[in-house]
Amino acid sequence: EIVLTQSPGTLSLSPGERATLSCRASQSVSRNFLAWYHHKPGQAPRLLIYDASNRATGIPDRFSGSGSGTDFTLTISRLEPEDFAVYYCQQYGNSPFTFGQGTRLEIK
Amino acid sequence: QVHLLQSGAEVKKPGASVKLSCKASGYKFTSYSIHWVRQAPGQRLEWMGWLGAGDAYTKYSQKFQGRVTITRDTSASTVYMELSSLTSEDTAIYYCARVASAYGDLSHFDYWGQGTLVTVAS
């Protein structure tokens, strides 16, 4: 099973600032099949990025994904109020599909 | 538009079973796999298994093997997930999610249900 470790656990920033979130895999993610999701309590997770660097339909270009192999990054260039939430990475290259433990992005 | 509507909250006693539903609309139901994911309080999202497109092939996480069954009713465009021998550790929000690629086994999830809270308590 591929274990995904996200860092930091919590990130405190202000609107307008840049956020950088990390996701590290215990072994190489097949075909860079890695996604990022945004999740607020009481809501369904929302797909942001797939295949490591492709933005999902309707996702603003302030969100970008990068990385390959075992190290991946989600960058939010200028934080908007609605961006404060928990972010999860997920690998879907190997079964069982696994998720990171999440990074909580909170308003400073 | 694509929508996944899940059944309502459940309260179960230890040892019981629960069967949740996920009704799909807005797309060709049999062309896309549906996965089930859960999140226990304070825990990460946890993948449980999937029901494939076409012939409804199923694959389960080893953690839940023998306790989980995913089925579908094509006429109702609904996928079901039954979990048996419940314990307090099964208290969680359960989500269904659709893969983005038709007939794709290895794919990210583009649409999610709203989640169903299952509480297991004596």
pLDDT digits (tens, 9 = 90+) for B61-71: 999 989 999 99
Quickly state the pLDDT bin for A42 (edges 50, 70, 90).
Answer: confident
Please state, in angstroms and rounded to a whole number, the distance separating the CA atoms of residues A53 and B91.
34
> Which positions 11-70 of B are in contact with A (Cβ < 8 Å)?
35, 37, 44-47, 59, 61-63
Query: Could A33 and B106 be called an inter-chain contact, meaning their C-beta atoms sit closer than 8 Å?
Result: yes
Contacts of A47 in chain B (CB under 8 A): 100, 108-110
- What was the pLDDT predicted at A102? 96
> For testing the chain B interface, which of A2, A51, A54, A97 should be mutated: the one with the most B CBs within 10 Å?
A97
B94: which DSSP letter?
E
CA angle in degrees (0–180, nearest 5) for B56-B44-A7 = 125
Q: Give the tens place of pLDDT for each residue, B78-119.
A: 999 999 999 999 999 999 999 998 877 788 999 999 999 999
Q: Give the tens place of pLDDT for each residue, B33-64.
A: 999 999 999 999 999 999 988 887 999 999 99
- What was the pLDDT predicted at B102? 83
